[in-house]
Amino acid sequence: MAEVLADLRTLIPGEIVDGFTELNEFWKWLPFAYVFAGHCLFCSLPAKEFRDRCFVHYVLTFLWGNGGGVVSALLLMAPQHAKLSFFATNEVLGIWTVCWWLVNYCPGGLVYNLLNKWYIKMFAASCTALMRALLIVSRVDLAVKLYPGIVAAPLLLGTLAGCGGRLLADTLLHSWGALPGHAELSSPGFVSRSAAMAATTYYLLAYVLQLLPASAAAGFVVTWLVLHTFVKEVSGHALDFTAPVAKLLHTLTLVPHPPPQPLPAPVSIFRRSGSFEFPNAAAAKPAGVSSPVAIGQQAKAAATPAKTPASASKGKASPAKGSPAGKRTPASKGSPAKAAAAAAADEPAASPAGAEQVCSVQPQQRAAGRVSAAASAAGVVKAGEASVPAEASLAATRPRRSQRKAVAA
């Protein structure tokens, strides 16, 4: 095996090795402040629905962009080698805060609209890809140094360095009921698969097979990820090179494929509730959405009373002029029911048939907990009363004493 690997190393031209080594030096030569600023601008774009809650949006986007370094640093348990990014230097939180404010709260949305231009967004996305790739490589190197001979350490830490931010953000969104679809952990996508492939490729090339020096292997992996992001932003296509590899692995290992991500939820499945927007579960379930984006925007019509069946039937309560119900009989004109109903404050007169109808539907209303349209059409409950299904609505549907007297008469 050693002889085969030695022969493979001789087949790789020295120019290619030197070229990747120089590329690695170039990526490291770029000023950190400028690259990190572009990364912060790009990572401040998502989660627009949380902008009215600035602290939630600040934490969520920070973890989305820098969570991989946080998770891998905590698992390494070596602060002298891998510090938390926001404790390493004052630049990190300072640059992040300024970029986050510019993208989300700059007057007139100047920076946000500027980032939506494809060439500006391409530059910012490339900065994010560069920061992510360099972090994957550095975590693999550090894991090999701190845990020599342990295969799981570089693979796990390198993968988490590239997708830890997505895992943390999905956890928060799921706990808030605002995750549009499956979490990354339950249905791994390009973020997780590309991080695993990058960490595995670098570990194999630099430390297991040793086909390339560590610097050349790092230059190859970093250039690969940055070039993919560049081409993806220019072309406008996903260009998921990890999908065929994942499909092959699932086929060979007989491990079932994870469920695919559902389509975005239609706008019609959302309903207002209080100061948040929550999904309508009855409409979201057939749409295939487990938990669509729900929280973030204040409801402008929170104080507007809901439209009840009583108010909806207001225009249909009075019978047509030509119908039999619209004609009064002589017996009803001189009956005591008219005088008794007029004595009740703001209570319309009801015929015995109407009162009997209300009494007949009362058990169903008590079981269902809501006012029926038949009671409103009979004129016993005024439109707008008992708009919330509660005890008050049930009491409102009971016939008044005057109406019971009218029925007895």
CA 271 centroid distance within chain = 16
Given a cut of 90, whether residue 265 has pLDDT beyond it is no
Please report which confidence band the pLDDT of residue 263 belongs to, taking 50, 70 and 90 as the band edges: low
Please report which confidence band the pLDDT of residue 12 belongs to, taking 50, 70 and 90 as the band edges: confident
* Mean pLDDT score, 266-279: 34
Report the percent of the chain where pLDDT is more than 90: 45
* Mean pLDDT score, 188-210: 94
Q: Which range has the worst mean pLDDT, 196-200, 258-262, 295-299, 327-331?
A: 295-299
At a CB cut-off of 8 Å and minimum separation 6, what does 173 contact? Answer: 60, 179
Q: What is the DSSP letter of 204?
A: I
Beta-sheet pairing, 270-273 with 276-279:
antiparallel
Q: Which residues of 34-73 are buried (b: 16+ CB within 10 A; e: fewer)?
A: ebbbbbbbbbbbebeebeebeebbbebbbbbbbbbbbbbb
Please report which confidence band the pLDDT of residue 98 belongs to, taking 50, 70 and 90 as the band edges: very high
> What pLDDT, on the 0 to 100 scale, is given for residue 267?
36
| Tokens 């190197």 found at | 141
Please report which confidence band the pLDDT of residue 89 belongs to, taking 50, 70 and 90 as the band edges: confident
Q: Which range has the worst mean pLDDT, 29-33, 87-91, 372-376, 396-400?
A: 372-376
* Mean pLDDT score, 377-400: 46
- The answer to whether the beta carbons of residues 76 and 156 sit under 8 Å apart is no
- The answer to whether the beta carbons of residues 126 and 132 sit under 8 Å apart is no
Q: Give the residue among 390, 392, 387, 395 at the shortest CA–CA distance from 309.
A: 387
For the stretch 39-76, pLDDT in tens is: 999 999 988 888 889 999 999 999 999 999 999 999 98
Please report which confidence band the pLDDT of residue 305 belongs to, taking 50, 70 and 90 as the band edges: low
Amino acid at 408: A
Please report which confidence band the pLDDT of residue 148 belongs to, taking 50, 70 and 90 as the band edges: very high
